[in-house]
Amino acid sequence: MRFSKMLLPTYKEDPAEAEAISHKLMIRAGLVRQLAAGLYIYLPLGLRVLKKVNAIIREEMNAIGGQEIIMPVLHPAEIWQQSGRWYDIGDEMFRLQDRTKRDMVLGMTHEEVVAWLASREIRSYRDLPQIWYQIQTKLRDEARPKGGVLRTREFLMKDSYSLDLDPEGLNLSYNLHYDAYCKIFHRCGVKYYAVESDPGMMGGAGAHEFMALSPAGEDEVSLCGNCGYAANVELANSQPPLVSSPAWNFEEVATPESRTIEEVCAYLKIDPRLTIKSLLLMAKDGPIMALVRGDQKLHEKKFRRLVGEFRPAHQEEVKEHAGVEAGFLGPVGLAPGRNLPLIADVSLKQGIFVAGANREGYHIRGVVPGEHFAAKFADIHVAMSGDACPSCNSPLKVEKAIEIGNIFKLGTKYSLPLKALYLDRQGQEKPIVMGSYGIGPARIIAAAIEQSFDQDGIIFPLSLTPFDVHLLPVNLKQENVQQEAEKFYQKLSEADISALFDDRAEAPGVKFKDADLIGIPLRLTISAKTLKEHMVEIKIRQTGEVHLVKLDQALSWVQNWINFHTKK
RNA sequence: CGGGGCGUAGCGCAGCCUGGUAGCGCACCUGCCUUGGGCGCAGGGGGUCGGAGGUUCAAAUCCUCUCGCCCCGACCA
């Protein structure tokens, strides 16, 4: 492709609206342009990268027996009403009516359509198992699109669905996907972790997320460098490091005007880890007190799994149920008749603490959980870096990550309501057991860039690069430079090596800067300087290495380099 | 949806506080020049200041409403 003819607008400066590295670079290098919040145009260069990703996905999906189909973006509301998600999902679903006032949905995912199709076309156990997939547009009315292509309202997704006879079959399909996903992300040159995840609204028996580490990520994963434990912090268990407590006696201490943990610690000159944070929460069965150590945070999702929906109590409710103002709340010495259920974090199992005294202006020192109050113990804190790994006790690291893929065991959540049934060997009607599996190609691109760039621009992995070679003649007005560049461009094309040929009349500096910004793995510079010696210069973007290669050997040099670095 | 920020030329920004009829850099066009790291010189085109309403002799500037975009949080099959 000739640069002079290509829609490839590059920017010298960072766009004002971009924060994430990948977002800045994708705009500057001319991969994408934003139409509106969460809506992106892929320019020719960006589309080339996207197609590379999709080709890898297709190869690996086909390799596990996946069959590609395309389902509509526009769905009749009925199937979503049958699955119940018409009612469960709120504003995130785009809804509209057709001209006859029939309710319609813009698909945010395709479980319903797959179950509908299976209900018609799968009849016998002989028809199973099946894996169907598509690479297709999804629409979600996101509350807050962000991070460039990382979270958008319209995006491409590879979604696949497995249909099996029984849970054992599902396990096999699930594992096939797990392995295929590992291959896909590896081939795309992305560093990732497969972590256990919360099945959430998808329901079902198990789930993993594939997480690419990046500061631009919206998720956090808890990682153990020792045993390989990896989990989304939404589920991650951990043991916060213990602190040895002073041999306090059980006594009330005055803490005037000290309400927050910070204030109390400053006043008493103690470590926050020696305090108990008491939170009054309103659950559906009434008020509950949650206790976490002063340095810890309550994990709302973990807590919700224990007690169902809840919300923090209002000021007046604290007063009503605990008989004291927020700030002096504690598990010990609640007034008679005010027996609140207590749920305490596991980090409070051992130790002697300071807690609110349920009396204005006072705290109690020397509180021993289990002795001075009875509570149900559970892991309800947010895992933090430095906590001990739940399986090997080594220190954990918590890092930000981009969710590039996920896999779910659905079970019969969709097949039952949509009547996706089959007849087994005994002629019995059984529900198909389903799994659902997603990959965000745009997120792979963003993650690859987040993990591979420098101050000059993108450093594309060979597997995703829009072109293999950046052919850069320094001065086309010099006849030999022009001739050799054209000749070499021709040779590359005959050898089926894709090249971006910078045939512009720009100054050398401009061309070099653009080459670095776009980040194609190999740059071939053709100039009078090296042509005198019948040489061309080959620069490797990744390492910065520069090789001078004989003109007539340059093509095979490039071919060898590409073959050697291609991931299988 | 709560909190914060920003909308002025294609891009990045100044001007706004203290109203007086819009400016800088890059990009773009023409000519000359230059060709190993975002060349040089000369000439030129382009905005009515997100939108609406108001105050005023006069509004990019002050006031009200509104729309859009970004960030933090909530939310996130």
A537 touches strand B (CB under 7 A): yes
Question: Which of residues 308 to 367 on A have a Cβ less than 7 angstroms from any strand B atom?
Answer: none
Q: How far, in Å, CA of A82 to CA of A79, rounded?
A: 5
- Residue type for A323, please? G
- Does residue A14 approach strand B to less than 7 Å at its CB? yes
Which of residues A319 and A57 earns the better pLDDT score?
A57
N residues, chain A:
568
Q: Give the H or E element holding residue A214.
A: none
Question: Which nucleotide is closest to the Cα of A207 by its C1'?
Answer: B77
In strand B, which positions have an atom below 7 A from any protein CB?
1-2, 6, 11-13, 25-26, 34-39, 68-77
Per-residue pLDDT, averaged over A70-76, amounts to: 97
With bands split at pLDDT 50, 70 and 90, how would you rate the model's confidence at A568? low
Q: What Å value separates CA A46 and C1' B60?
A: 37
pLDDT at position A163 is 98
- CA A509 – C1' B15 distance (Å)? 34
State yes or no: pLDDT of A338 exceeds 90: no
Q: Do A275 and A331 contact (CB within 8 A), yes or no?
A: no
Say yes or no to pLDDT of A242 above 60: yes
Name the band, by pLDDT with cuts 50, 70 and 90, for residue A366.
Answer: very high
Q: State how far the alpha carbon of A407 is from the alpha carbons of A13, A74, A111, A313, in Å.
A: 39, 24, 13, 36
| Residue-level pLDDT at A243 | 80
- Give A244: exposed, middle or buried? Use CB within 10 Å, 0-12, 13-18, 19+: exposed
**Residue A552, pLDDT above cutoff 90:** yes
What pLDDT does residue A138 have? 97
Structure tokens at A196: 């256990």
pLDDT (0 to 100) of residue A202:
52
Residue nearest to nucleotide B1 (CA to C1'): A143
Name the one residue in this structure whose structure tokens are 């980040």. Answer: A519
Question: What separation, in Å, do the N-terminal and C-terminal C-alpha atoms of chain A show?
Answer: 26
What average pLDDT score do residues A118-126 get? 98
Q: According to the model, what pLDDT value does residue A567 have?
A: 73
Helix (H, G, I), strand (E, B) or coil at A388: strand
The residue-averaged pLDDT of A20-27 equals 97
User: What is the predicted pLDDT for the residue at A407?
Assistant: 96
Residue A307's pLDDT is: 82
What is each CA distance from A529 to A478, A483, A534, A537, in whole angstroms?
Answer: 11, 15, 9, 10
Give the pLDDT of residue A536: 97
**Residue A126 has what pLDDT?**
98
- Compute the distance between CA of residue A132 and CA of residue A514 in angstroms, rounded to an integer: 41
C1’ B74 / CA A258, Å: 28
Residue type for position A34: Q
pLDDT for A297-336, tens place per residue? Answer: 888 888 888 887 787 787 778 888 878 877 888 898 777 6
Query: What percentage of chain A carries pLDDT values higher than 70?
Result: 98
Confidence of residue A543 (pLDDT cuts 50, 70, 90): very high
Strand B contact residues in chain A (209-228), C-beta within 7 Å? 218
Q: Assign A91 to helix, strand or coil.
A: coil
Which residues 379-438 in chain A have a CB closer than 7 A to strand B?
Answer: 406, 408, 436, 438
Q: Measuring from the CA of residue A152 to each C1', which nucleotide is nearest?
A: B76
Q: What value of ipTM does the predicted structure carry?
A: 0.95
Question: Is the minimum distance from the CB of A452 to strand B below 7 Å?
Answer: no
Protein CA A526 to sugar C1' B34 (Å): 18
Q: What is the CB-side half-sphere exposure of residue A384 using CA atoms within 13 A?
A: 13
Taking the CA of residue A553 and the C1' sugar atom of nucleotide B40, their distance in angstroms comes to: 38
